[in-house]
Amino acid sequence: MANLKEIRNRISSVKSTMQITSAMKMVSAAKLKKAQDAITAMRPYANKLTELLQSLSATLEGDSGSKFATQREVKNVLVVAITSNRGLCGAFNSNIIKESDRLVKEEYKNQNVSIVTIGKKGNDILSKTLDVIENNNEVYDDLTFDNVATIAEMLMDKYVSGEFDRIDLVYNKFKNAATQIVMTEQFLPIVPVTSDSNVNLDYIFEPSKIEIVEQLIPKSLKTQLYKAIRDSFASEHGARMTAMHKATDNATELRDQLTLSYNKARQAAITNEILEIVGGAEALNN
C-alpha cells in the first residue's frame, strides 16, 4: 500500500483537477445557452429557405436551371470537415474525423477527394493522412454570418469553376447537451425536391422565377453553411459540458476512494504504533 504522503499528494492532485473540470463545465454551460438559442432560432428560417429554393430549382428546365444545381459526373469531391479549435469535449472531434476518413476511403474511394477543414482539431489530424487544401480556424474568433459567407463564396467558386463536382459538409448537429448527431450533408450541387406530394401552388413571380432563384441560391448556400457551423458550435459546448461533468464525477469518485485508502493506511499505521508501544511495555515488565 502506498505511504500516507503519496496518497495525500494524489488526493491534492485530484481535488485540483476537480476544480478545473467543474469550472470548465460551468463555463461551457453558460456558452451553451447562448449558442443553443442562436441555432434554435435560425433553424426554421434556414430549413424553409432551403426547401423553397429546392422546390423552385426543380421547376426550372434545361439551361434555365441554376449553375449551382448543375449535375455533373462526380470525379472530384470536396469534403468540408467542421470541428472545433479546442479539445476536452469527448468524442466530438473524433467522430467528425472518423466520418471524413470513411467518406474518403469508402464512399468516394473511386474519386479524387480533397478536404477543407473548419477548426484546428480537424486540421491537425486530417492533414497528416489526407489532402487538406485549406483550413479556416479563424472563423471561431468572430462567428458571424459575414465571416462564414466568405468561406461559402470560396466553396461556390470552386464548384462553379468545375474544380469540384460535389461538395459535402460533415458536422455535428445539435440535439441536446448530451447528444450530437454526425451529419453528412450535400452542399453542392443543390438537390431538387422530387417528392410526389408537392403541392402545385399558383405563385406570381416578380421579376421572374429564374432571377429570383439566381439571386437567392447564393444566400441560401451561405445560410446553410452558417447553420452547419452554428450547429457544430452549439454541439461543441454541449459535448464539453457533458465531458467535464463526467470528468468531475469520476474525479469525485477517485477522491473518495483515495480518502478511504488514506484513512485505512492511517489507521493501520496508528494500530502498528500502538502494538509496538504495547509490545515494548510488555517486554519491560517481563
Indicate which residues carry an active-site annotation: 89
CB 186 within 8 A of CB 168: yes
- End-to-end C-alpha distance for the chain, whole angstroms: 34
Cβ count near 80 (within 10 Å) = 25
Give 186's strand partners: 168
Q: What's the full length of the chain, in residues?
A: 286
Residues 125 and 120: their CA atoms lie apart, in Å, by 9
CB 189 within 8 A of CB 71: yes
How do strand 179-188 and strand 166-176 relate by DSSP bridges?
Answer: antiparallel
Residues 283 and 272: their CA atoms lie apart, in Å, by 16
Cell digits of residue 62: 434545361
- CA-to-CA separations, 264 to 3, 125, 131, in angstroms, rounded: 11, 45, 57
3-state SS class at 136: coil
CB 32 within 8 A of CB 237: yes
3-state SS class at 286: coil
Cell digits of residue 275: 502494538
Residues 170 and 251: their CA atoms lie apart, in Å, by 33
